[in-house]
Structure 1
Amino acid sequence: MLHLRLITPANRTDDVVRLIEKTVGTTHLVVMPGAARNPAGDVVMCDVAREAADELIGALRALDIDKTGSIAVENIDLSISKRAEKAEEEAPGEAADAVLWEHLADATHEESTLSFTYVAFITLATMIAACGVVLDNAILIVGAMAVGPEFGPLAGFSTAIVQRHPRLALRSMIALLAGFAVAMVVTVGFSYFMDAVGLFTQEQLDADRPNTGFVWAPDWFSFVVAVLAGTAGTLSLTSSKSGALVGVAISVTTVPAAANAAVALSYGDSKQTWGSTEQLLLNLLGIILAGTLTLLAQKWLWARQRDRQAREGARAGGN
């Protein structure tokens, strides 16, 4: 269940209340006239099944509540209520399958902003991965992949394509490309420094690396894993199962490939530089493709489910 807290202009409150009352899957409706001060208006609260939330939020935006008042949505961790159970039963579909497009767009917008924190995380992750590839240390590679924040703009780009938000798509792509560019440039400098103090050597980079050699040798398995990870990551975002994102992060070799390319570039090793760059681009392409197709499939399946539910309800009403 989700909890909605609305601030509505007094002349819109009745419309909002009627909308909530006729939306299947809502309960615990509370109206507090004149309670809001900034902006001034009434406060309306209700609980809604996740399956019905996207439609309700869209209808509220059609009433311009997001412009004249506010719409706040919170997850309810525990709701002990027979009415809540009934609302969830009446709502069409399954909660885990429902996509809150407004929430997804908001979440990916935040994760797709080229901020100092984002650049710092991706740079640190790339530097950690650089240590991992030179030392052929799988633990450092896994740690670097977990630290890397690149899935945010990848998910943002996929969401923007499906929702046709060109500004979000541009913001996500800028964050992705600029973030990796800065991280790789800094890692080249880091590699020069580590070589100067004797901690990195070209012999280590050129040696057989059974644990990390794959990062500059892309193949079809790289693309397959990227597609599978992109699908899993997108599902984890749309179903609010964020724990799965950790597994996604350590399944793809975007950050290690960028790190290997940077270190190889510092030593003038064009073969490893190009191989690592190909690995990076292949992974990015696979994740974007999988994320976009997953969101399109979810949108289509949910629309079909809602249409079927509406037809069944119309037949039941006719009888």
Structure 2
Amino acid sequence: MMNTVRARRKPLLRAAAFAVALLALLAGCERTPARDYAAEGEAWKARIADAYERNASLDNYRFEGSIAFPTKGEPTAAAGPAALLPMLGEGLSWSGILYRDPLRLEADVRFEGTAGGDGAAAQSVPLLAQDGLLYVSIPPVNAPDEYFAIDLAEAEAGTGPLPIRPLLDAAAAFDDLAYAIVDRVDPQWIRTPDVALDGDGGAAESDPAEEPRRFVVEVTEENAEHVAAAFREGYAVWAERLPPELGADRLSIAGDASFSLAPGGSIAISLDENGYVVDQAVELDVVRGAEASSEDGSATDASSSAENASSDRFAYAVRLTEPNGSPELTKTVPPNVIPFKDVLAFLLSGADAANP
């Protein structure tokens, strides 16, 4: 009897199962296929590269940024005229406004420390580029409110005074450290959180129908060694773009091939609604002294112990606002100006007199 009832109900059960499946399908409850992060990441990499190229076409914008290095092993000071400049030391911060054509730059660069970890006070270097001249005040060389004037054409050609060229060359390189790292990360680790920024650097709602505008690589247990390798390579390539006078290539982060990264850090790049890169952030915990491992997880230094590991934070952030928004310039040509050529000629004449 029971078997007869089950037999009669079997078609009804099949129909019910089919109906439930159909309703689930219509309601969007079907099983979500696994995302192909590798394929998505390739597309995101291309989108990021295009955004950096778009930034190069910007005529004017306001900018601010900072970079903080792990504190172990600051570089030795540079020799010669370049010694007038502060070193990167513990890091630096910068802010200002740039107009590209005609060139007009006003900025303040703050060096947070000098080489050797001797506790030297932070130094601020104000800059103004206008009418073919760069005005710069370098403490403690200059008196308060005293500026050197440097011919920009000579500086761009590399024939001007050595201490100023690094400041000019570093400006462009400091804008794309995050890209130098992300470009070397396997695409499968790139994610796209539903967060974007507007043109003023604030949070903006993201339309799911639009292309993502924020790209993040998070450091996890699974990818920490891979991201560390990308960081080492990207940093080395980036540091080579900076003039050696700043000492970026002599920081321990550049020469230490054994450090690893602790999970929890991230690299993030955000675009605005017009496709410009407006926010970059790198926050990585650099671990030294722990047991190093290769990307396949095999130990490479069994004598090291995680108990003796030390962690330092590498932090980098750059924000761009008012892209092509004609930000208001406020700096004026300083009244107390010394042509740097005169200073250099005086120094050289003194050296010749001391060494007849």
Q: Which has the higher helix share?
A: 1
Q: Structure 1 length as normaliser, TM-score?
A: 0.25
Q: Which has the higher strand share?
A: 2
Q: Structure 2 length as normaliser, TM-score?
A: 0.23
RCO higher in structure (CA 8 A, sep ≥6):
2
